[in-house]
Structure 1
Amino acid sequence: MKSRSSRGGNGSASQPFYPAKINLPLLRGLQHIAPWLIRSRDRVELVISSDPKVQLETLRGRSCLLVCNHPTFDDPKAMFLLSSRLQEPFYYLTAYEQFRGLQGWLYQRLGAYSIRRGLADRDSIAYTLNLLQQPQIKLVIFPEGGCSFQNDTVMPFRSGAVQMALQAMSRKLKQSEPGDADLYIVPISLKYRYTGSMTPVIENTLRRLERALGVSSEGDVYIRLRRVAAKIIDRCEQEAHLAPDPEADWNQRIARLKAEVLDRCEQELGLTSAAGEPNRERVYRILYALEARQNTLMPDGQDALDVMFRAVRRVLNFDAIYDGYVAAMPTPERFLDTLIRLEREVFGIDQPPPKGHRQAFLRIGEPISLKDYHAAYRADRANTVNNLTRQLQQTVQQNLDLLAEATSRGISW
């Protein structure tokens, strides 16, 4: 059973918003040692590529909203390494739950500020709009809304980042001469590649899961992976009291499991969700409601909340997973993407330690000037926001595909 502090709350309801408090001497010092520190501690090094029309220098001095896919928990570190290359401070829109203790204090000094995901966080929105109107600002947002745990595919982008950027651009144009105001959105694709042989790591991880679940280790690694996954799906359905459906495939079973968990939790907590609302937004709202309720319950009422906490976190863990992800491209990265999810489920480890040394390939797409979209935004805000959001998502996915092709052929940028 997880302790209260491990559920994601920071235990400080008195501070609803954490602003950035950049300390330039501290920031510069950490930028200087970051490549060595992150390579040795997190086993990650950054490799930067770009669209042929983009040079790294073109970003320097510009006001930019950097939108990036979010495959791992190490992505903010990769973006910090990019800030180190540019020798500029970045701001980071960061989950509220990260601002606890010394870690939260440090994050604020490095440019992070909080967002309560799944809620209308007016303080964070107002702060973001103000930042985007500043000169030479660099703001990092991960528009998938959370970590996907998938190295090659992008989850649907939320439209909030584009909406705030266009709104800020509109305000900038009102406050300055048209030629002086600029704000760019830069699509960034991030993909990791293990640099060594990962066969022993995959084998050891599989064996550990097989022992914990009591399943056979016969067959090749893909058959064994599917056997472990099948056992976990069966167990999750049993815990949710869902009767087996022999006609359903794995994707249907996972979708049914997630829908059942969210519907039950919302009903228990008196919450409602809009039609088509992303699962992640529903999860975040449920988690905030659970945090609020646990403070009013007697200790003997905590067990029911623990069950709901575990259930909705399972939805986040399996949000982007689908049957066939490994079979479509059986790379070490895809095997380990899936195994890490299964480890998180079976062993209750939020962030398993690095499996090996990785290169973080970061591809910078062509900056998009929001001045070019201002007239369309004034005429039709909703369609302009949605179309630009979709365009950014497609660009990030296309550049991920280019990175996948290049890394599969062993190209070094």
Structure 2
Amino acid sequence: MSDRSSQFFPPQLNPLFTRLCQSISYPAACLAYQLELAIAPEDVAKLKEIESERIVYLPNHPTLDDGVVMFLLSARIGQLFNYIIAQEAFQGWIGKFLQTIGAYSIRRGVGDRSSIVQTLKLLQQPATHLVIFPEGGCSYQNDTVMPFRAGAIELSFKALAQIAKQETVPDFYLVPVSLKYRYTSPMDSAIAKTLSHLEATLKITPLTNDFYQRLRIVAERILIDLEHHYFSGKLDTTLNWNQRIERLKELLIDRCETKLGLTPADRLPLRERVYKIQSLLDSPLQALDITKATREDLYQTTVRLLNFDAIYDGYVAEYPTAERFLDTLARLEREVYQINYPPVKGHRKACINIGSPVNLKDYFTQYRENREAVVQKLNQQLQETVQKNLTQSAFD
């Protein structure tokens, strides 16, 4: 494996520099990301009340801008955060900047011992405030919460157990954070423009002005193209869209695992299987016994799988907001144009809803008696809280 791909990037928090960045974060986010933060005063008070304690923030992960939003939250409540961020983000000066404001890396798809050790060390320090995205990756959907991974809770309990050996069991909070984006102006022109560009690229002549019908035509063309690319023989036309999407994802993940000689890990979520594949693709070619072209093809397939992981037919139809339209269009842009970060379509409010903090101290005795059951229970509870608050805010 290459030096870069296996490297751990530790936090190098510079409080003075971070405070300076926080002081200019609002105008900078507005200018660079077309973002502003929206959080209710009662939610700010909720966080202020426990700010002297250990806190792990657990936000959903709908976009690639979520780290910026959590930094804005740190500025709003006047706290210094640490952040766990995917290792591939630590490139060049951006990586150095991330380390300086308290971020550190994690290699997804492998047991990253260095990152785990760093996390346990941080969580044992007084008044640590750590951000972990428990979905393990970006859903690319404004109203969808993917299954939480239990690692954040497991590590928090392990740190608490270590602390309890030296002192009485302290307060230690897990905070569910529901993060949702809202456009601040009408987005019809942006939807029309994005649809027109996709239609022109795919050589589709629009036969209607109805946005939803045009979206479905574009999406179906992309789905058909992918099916023809990956499937041999006659396609099953009796399947509905969701069945076709699932069949395609299963084929793609099986194809990658077979090429790399992996035993299919059917019990694991697709995202976990993809991260394992991507970690292997960082290995030297001679260790993989594949060509460079094959590695590039497999990596692009994994990117495609992550892009379409949370998608389902009906996401836009069940609640046709501008946000859901543009979620889906951005996903299609990533596929058609082979880009990671489609241009932002308009100014947005990043709306944060803080759920009731969960004090692990209240569950510590139960945890000692049945660790797995308590971790699983709290993991499900926190995921449901984030989804409930997200769903409620969709209809506010």
Indicate conservation of the 8 Å contact 2:260/2:288, yes or no: no
1:218 equivalenced with 2:202 (yes/no): no
1:117 aligned to which of 102, 108, 112: 108
Paired with 2:318 and 2:239, the residues of 1 have a C-alpha distance of: 21
1:381 corresponds to: 371
227-236 vs 271-280, which moves further: 271-280
Distance in 2, Cα, partners of 1:78 & 1:309: 29
CA distance in 2, matches of 1:18, 1:237: 40
Q: Secondary structure at the match of 2:135?
A: coil
Q: Distance in 2 between matches of 1:223 and 1:157?
A: 33
User: Paired residue for 1:78, among 54, 69, 86?
Assistant: 69
Alignment match of 1:340 (pick from 327, 330, 354): 330
* Structure 1 unmatched ranges of 5 or more: 1-8, 407-413
Structure 1 residues 40-89: Cα deviation after superposition (integer angstroms, max 9, x where no partner): 11000000137779634213222100000000011011100111112221
Q: What whole-Å deviation, never above 9, does each CA across 1:358-413 have from its counterpart, x for those lacking one?
A: 0000011111110111111111111111110000000001111221122xxxxxxx
| In 2, Cα distance between equivalents of 1:15 and 1:266 | 21
Residue in structure 1 matching 2:174, options 185, 189, 196: 185
Structure 1 residue 89 corresponds to structure 2 residue 107: no
Cα pair 1:50 1:364 within 8 Å, conserved = no
**In structure 2, C-alpha distance between the alignment counterparts of 1:377 and 1:56, rounded to whole Å:** 25
Q: How big is the shift at 1:133? A: 1.1
Extract unaligned runs of 5+ from structure 2. Answer: none
- Alignment partner, residue 34 of structure 1: 25
Q: What do you get for the CA RMSD once the two structures are aligned? A: 1.9
Q: Tell me how far 1:294 sits from its aligned partner.
A: 3.8
CA distance in structure 2 between the aligned counterparts of 1:357 and 1:405, rounded to whole angstroms = 20
Aligned equivalents of 1:86 and 1:250: distance in 2? Answer: 44
Q: Provide the secondary structure at the position in 2 that maps to 1:25.
A: helix
For the pair 1:404 / 2:363, whether they are aligned, the reply is no
**1:153 paired residue number:** 144
**What do the CA deviations read for 1:277-324 (whole angstroms, capped 9, x no partner)?**
0111111111121221447689x9322222211111100000000000
TM-score scaled to structure 1, two decimals?
A: 0.92
> Percent same amino acid among aligned pairs?
47
Distance (whole Å) between structure 1 residues aligned to residue 45 and residue 14 of structure 2? 30
In the alignment, residue 182 of structure 2 is paired with which amino acid? R
Task: Check conservation: 1:115, 1:121, Cα contact below 8 A.
Answer: yes
Q: Distance in 2 between matches of 1:370 and 1:124?
A: 22
Quick one: distance in 2 between partners of 1:240 and 1:51?
51
CA deviation string 1:310-354 (max 9, x = no partner): 111100000000000000000000000000000000001100121
The Cα shift of 1:197 comes to: 1.1
Counterpart amino acid of residue 226 in structure 1:
R
